[in-house]
Amino acid sequence: MAAELPAITILPVPFSPGQVLIALAVLIPALVIFNLLLISEEVFESIGFGFCQAMLMTAGALLGSLFNIPLIPVDNAVIAINVGGAAIPLFVTIEMVARNRISLKKTLAATFIVSIVAYAFATPVPGLGITMPFYIPPLAGAATGLLLARGCRTAPELAYAGGTMGTLLGADILNLANPAVLAMLVGGKTTVLSIGGAGIFDGIFITGVLSVLLAGYAGRRLREKAGVCPQEMRG
């Protein structure tokens, strides 16, 4: 009788504990970044950008976080603006206002409110920069967006604008405008002080993403409970 052999045989491949750890060290960060990319792309779509624009914004925020544009030399320091953490959120906010997705008045109000919160919680640390609990800006942005939009569908857009612009203003710009804080951060060394810069997926990027997600989720719940969401008045 002829022996029957399987067409495909899957053999177990042994891995040493060290190889498993190396694989996990590579795969886990890659999966985290990949999921953040997907989430951020959906976030940009949810605030009015098309798929291609959302992908460009996401890629720009990722790659742009590696680049700083020098603005003002101050003694041994150079104050710069980070492309991914400041320039792109500013562009997104201006684009939303220009297309009348959110009003200029409410955008300025959201920025002002979040900037006060950010300034209160921001802590300049020599050799490290300006630190703040990661959950403060997204919560402030989402709450402000919901408040100003009265729980309506423009809450995510206002949350993004207020969360990102308010954090840039309150945490970075207002602190860097203080000569004492500036001198403490520089410490007599040649330093680049980057507005909105903290490496790949910095705090401003995360703030924008989380603010939109929180405001969108909370806004849907409010509309479901209220039954009707009053149309937001522009202006």
For 105-114, write each residue's pLDDT tens digit.
Answer: 999 999 999 9
Kindly state whether residue 55 falls inside one of the protein's structural domains. Answer: yes
Q: In the prediction, which pLDDT does 229 show? A: 58
Residues 133-157: what's their mean pLDDT? 89
Above 70 in pLDDT, residue 210?
Answer: yes
Residue with the bigger pLDDT between 20 and 42: it is 42
Residue with the bigger pLDDT between 7 and 204: it is 204
Calculate the dihedral angle through the C-alpha atoms of 73, 196, 184, 111, rounding to the nearest 10 degrees: 110
Kindly state whether residue 5 falls inside one of the protein's structural domains. Answer: no
Q: In the prediction, which pLDDT does 152 show? A: 74
**CA dist., res. 149 & res. 229, Å (int):** 10
Max mean pLDDT range (5-19, 161-175, 208-222): 161-175
Kindly state whether residue 6 falls inside one of the protein's structural domains. Answer: no
Whole domain around residue 39: which residue ranges? 34-226
Residues 28-40: what's their mean pLDDT? 75
Max mean pLDDT range (6-15, 24-33, 142-151): 142-151
3-state SS, the chain, equals CCCCCCCCCCCCCCCCHHHHHHHHHHHHHHHHHHHHHHHHHHHHHHCCCCHHHHHHHHHHHHHHCCCEEEEEEECCEEEEEEHHHHHHHHHHHHHHHHCCCCCHHHHHHHHHHHHHHHHHHCEEECCCEEECCCCHHHHHHHHHHHHHHCCCCCHHHHHHHHHHHHHHHHHHHHHHCCHHHHHHHHCCCCEEEEECCCCCCCHHHHHHHHHHHHHHHHHHHHHHHHCCCCCCCCC
Above 60 in pLDDT, residue 232?
Answer: no
For 36-92, write each residue's pLDDT tens digit.
Answer: 777 888 888 888 888 888 888 888 888 888 889 999 898 788 999 999 889 999 999
Who's near 161: CB < 8 A, 6+ residues apart? 92, 93, 96, 97, 102, 107, 110, 111, 145
Q: In the prediction, which pLDDT does 202 show? A: 66
Kindly state whether residue 19 falls inside one of the protein's structural domains. Answer: no
Residues 183-208: what's their mean pLDDT? 79
167 with 207: CB under 8 angstroms? yes
Find the radius of gyration of the CA atoms of the chain. 22
Kindly state whether residue 28 falls inside one of the protein's structural domains. Answer: no
Count of structural domains, the chain: 1
For 146-190, write each residue's pLDDT tens digit.
Answer: 999 876 778 999 999 999 999 999 999 999 999 999 888 887 788
Q: In the prediction, which pLDDT does 80 show? A: 92
Kindly state whether residue 48 falls inside one of the protein's structural domains. Answer: yes
Residues 114-128: what's their mean pLDDT? 91
Above 50 in pLDDT, residue 200?
Answer: no
Kindly state whether residue 26 falls inside one of the protein's structural domains. Answer: no
Kindly state whether residue 156 falls inside one of the protein's structural domains. Answer: yes
Q: In the prediction, which pLDDT does 12 show? A: 57
Q: In the prediction, which pLDDT does 233 show? A: 42
